[in-house]
Amino acid sequence: MSDTAERDGGQRVERGGRGAADQGGATPAQPSPGERPLGGRSPGEQLSDEPVSDDERRKRRRVLARPGFLGTLRERLALLDEARALDLHDLDAPSDLYGDGIVEALEEKTAGLLGKEAAAFFPTGTMAQQVALRCWAGRTGNPTVALHALAHPEMHERNAFSQVSGLRPVRVTSEPRLPTAAEIRDFDEPFGALMLELPLRDAGFVLPTWQELTEVVEAAREREAVVHFDGARLWESTVHFGRPLEEIADLADSVYVSFYKSLDGFGGAAVAGPKTLVDEAKAWRHRYGGSVFQQFPTALSALAGLERELPRLPEYVAHARVVAAALREGFAAAGVPWTRIHPEPPHTNEFQVWLPYDADVIAEAAIRHAEVTRTVLFANGWEAKGPGLAFTEVYVRAAGLEWTADDVREAVARFVALLTEEVTR
């Protein structure tokens, strides 16, 4: 999944459903739903400047999830101080110019983690995946890319594959799961590459089983297609698969990863694979305008993320399952007529929560809950999926580890009380 702006907002937002133009038409893409501010306070921001006790100040900072990119400039710059303290790179070495130096060091480390021959750094994932699949199209002689209808390039990238890179995406399935081996074998058009988004974010951060994944890859190989993993969040898939990162990546001919979605870096992405492919990708990176003059802050923050966040992701995934179960129990105890945690248990540290209310009503309740309780249970926006039905995304990272199951259930009870008030107004 490429580095188009996330829905992980923490703002008071409007989340309407996607229209037909958002499903692959030519209409320019709009900002992701969680990034459309309506005005007013966001759930996670400072609520008052009045003097408060230490206990109250602690409560004000209590947010179940707050991604690093929503931090202040001072907080973001602290990543560079942390990188200096961790001694991740020789800071007395010359700075990078057009992708050398520290950028090459990041590429080498990434390739090693993924068990690939080489890797190329890109400023965005949108660019990285276009280039990788364009290179594969040249090798296979077929520009057709088979993917899921909910894959990031289909949902969020303004038809970049076809409009910019001469690729032809075809949708294998639109079901809220990864494609099956049978669907790959029986697909009625030839394709040169199969792109699998792991996890599939717009379906709920879902993953297949290890057996299902290996069977899908084998089915693509039978059709003489290459396999590319859209692995923006591949880093946190190891718990679900029960396999190390390099073994997962070994199934694919090439892998894209993001440095900011899970690792809290300033941005950036990489494509890893055979050295010949990566060398060509770097040539296309230059043509696409991706050979930025200096990128040491982003590269250094990525190295810090690999050092700090990557080892903690299994802990986040494990605690996400605790949080998800507590959310379900809390809504049941509060008498909500229907709720859905999807998937349950979560496949990664991110999952969806569905509630039978209008999105605007839930969003208003979330704002009021933050104001009244000084805690933020749902920091992301709510998206309407039909009359009286909406969902939001929940993720568990370092801040979420501080929440016990009892904390979550208590927060849900207070949230539902405010939600009921909103409904009856």
The pLDDT tens digits of the residues spanning 242-295 come to: 999 999 999 999 999 999 999 999 999 999 999 999 999 999 999 999 999 999
Backbone angles phi, psi at 355, to 5 degrees: -135, 150
Tell me, what's the pLDDT at 210?
A: 98
Backbone angles phi, psi at 93, to 5 degrees: -75, 155
The pLDDT tens digits of the residues spanning 143-180 come to: 999 999 999 999 999 999 999 999 999 999 999 999 99
Whether the CB-CB separation of 284 and 143 falls below 8 Å is answered with no
Nearest alpha carbon to residue 113 among 303, 288, 395, 267: 303
Tell me, what's the pLDDT at 25?
A: 37
How distant is the alpha carbon of residue 152 from its chain centre?
10
Which segments within 222-295 are labelled E, that is strand?
A: 226-230, 254-258, 269-273
Contacting residues for 184 by C-beta, under 8 A, at least 6 apart: 146, 172, 194, 216, 219, 220, 223
CA 254 – CA 234 distance, rounded (Å):
13
Tell me, what's the pLDDT at 343?
A: 98
Tell me, what's the pLDDT at 37?
A: 32
Tell me, what's the pLDDT at 86?
A: 86
Q: How many CB atoms lie within 10 A of CB 154?
A: 21
Whether the CB-CB separation of 83 and 266 falls below 8 Å is answered with no
Tell me, what's the pLDDT at 55?
A: 53
Q: Is 298 helix (H, G, I), strand (E, B) or coil?
A: helix
Q: What is the pTM of this model?
A: 0.86
Pairing of strands 168-171, 118-122: unpaired
Residues in the chain with pLDDT values less than 70: 1-61
**DSSP codes joined into one string, 310-375:** GGGHHHHHHHHHHHHHHHHHHHHHTT-S--EEESSS-SSSEEEEEESS-HHHHHHHHHHHHHHHSE
The C-alpha R_g of the chain, in whole angstroms, comes to: 22
Tell me, what's the pLDDT at 283?
A: 98
At position 40, the amino acid (one-letter code) is G
Question: In percent, how much of the chain has pLDDT > 90?
Answer: 79
CA 224 – CA 217 distance, rounded (Å):
11
